[in-house]
Structure 1
């Protein structure tokens, strides 16, 4: 597994997304993925599955220093005291002494960015999270965090797939050597039905999903966290790493319409 180095941590480029995985099914998915070779598990306070993930991690028996765990604080808990309470609760549910990466899940309109990042930095200084970062931050917000506040963010986690252009955000992140972690990398399953991707997949003896995933992972500074509960899907995503897309494949993917944003809740920021 290829890793991205960022702010003192080593981030496996392919991780397991766990949104909407619950209870025993979530525990089984995490334990199974770790058994297959995954070493990057992504969760969040809002997912309501941190306890189930903690059980899966414990059952898998992987040495803690060989494992990367990300969790996130919800946008309603961005006051300093609330961040601390949310972090303490997440850590307790996961059953861990520390997490590798703690993210602001979504920006909120009334947030006090300097106070937030002062609190996050304290959690890092205390060794309770090895790194901090953000998710769903737009270019203007990123610039405030990185340039005005000087926060050492280890990633920006955003929706990114073959149907959504993230050129501006990715370009900025690359200029600062900050990885982009792609969620919904398979466009909530929509990649499977795309004729262009199916054609590329047939040529490469692969699936459309594997083609879409490898397109992301071939990009400098990009990691991806597809959700997969079944062992077959988890293995297929791992096998995507073996694919080799050629220039014609990349051109065909580049020509796909790139304006499909699938995750856009009412509290989302104004996208660039």
Structure 2
């Protein structure tokens, strides 16, 4: 699945106008989830926008308490109703915990794909062994893997797996949940370019082959700034300096 370099993470967004503004500015990938409890907000924002539905990739996720086969089907229909859509382009297993059973859960996702209800099967927060099991069970190829990825948490094994198997890695929380300005290497690079640490985080991720990112923003100013960050070209030594950060902080562990 070809995903835009930058999309909009919507966790915590409760105003449809934010979604509509993002689409107006050029965002064409909206990422939500059942547990965010804002699929209706995303759907309303999409409806308010003049951007054609076919020009926007919409993704949502089935939460861990609804991964039994019958619940996958039921909650996906409920998601579609809240979004005001007849299909989503990408449906993720949000986390492989609780009711997740690869032998039972994943065939339900395949069925939704066969029906045309979803465009692709995604996974989120999987380990490499869990990815390998999913690949063995799924009829469809993994369309995307969404994981926490920022300078303080760099799951390089997951990136290597994504590259080896040809699917995109979708980086959530790319700005380290507001901590970008606390990371010395990132701040130093930002100062050399007269830009923000947040822009450096996004440019660093965008420079990685096979990685796309979905920062969350609520204001027009930040939405614009995140798009502009893609125009920032970092030198190879700057990228390597951030790659070499040894401090590890997973912000959203299981």
| Counterpart for residue 16 of structure 1 | 8
Hey, what does 2:57 align to over in structure 1?
Answer: 68
Picking from 112, 120, 127, the partner of 1:138 is 127
- Picking from 243, 250, 254, the partner of 1:261 is 250
Deviation at 1:151, TM superposition (A): 4.1
The CA distance in 1 between the partners of 2:119 and 2:204, in whole Å, is 29
Deviation at 1:192, TM superposition (A): 2.0
- Give structure 1 stretches of 5+ with no counterpart: 1-5
State the aligned residue count: 254
Please, which runs of 5 or more residues in structure 2 have no aligned partner?
A: none
CA contact (8 A) 2:67 2:99 kept: no
Q: How big is the alpha-carbon RMSD for the aligned residues of Structure 1 and Structure 2?
A: 1.3
- Counterpart in the other structure of 2:46: 57
**Residue 34 of structure 2 aligns with which residue?**
45
SS at match of 1:12: coil
Question: How many angstroms apart in 2 are the aligned matches of 1:128 and 1:162?
Answer: 36
Whether the aligned pair in 2 keeps the contact of 1:160 and 1:166 (CA below 8 Å) is yes
- Once residues 197 and 119 of structure 1 are traced to their aligned partners in structure 2, the CA distance between those partners, rounded to angstroms, is 42
Question: Please, which of 3, 6, 18 is the counterpart of residue 29 of structure 1?
Answer: 18
**Residues 145 and 151 in structure 1, CA contact (< 8 A), matched pair in contact too:** no
What is the CA-CA distance between 1:14 and the residue it aligns to?
0.3
> In the alignment, is residue 78 of structure 1 matched against residue 70 of structure 2?
no
Return the alpha-carbon distance in structure 2 between the equivalents of residues 150 and 123 of structure 1: 12
Counterpart-to-counterpart distance in 2, 1:149 and 1:85: 20
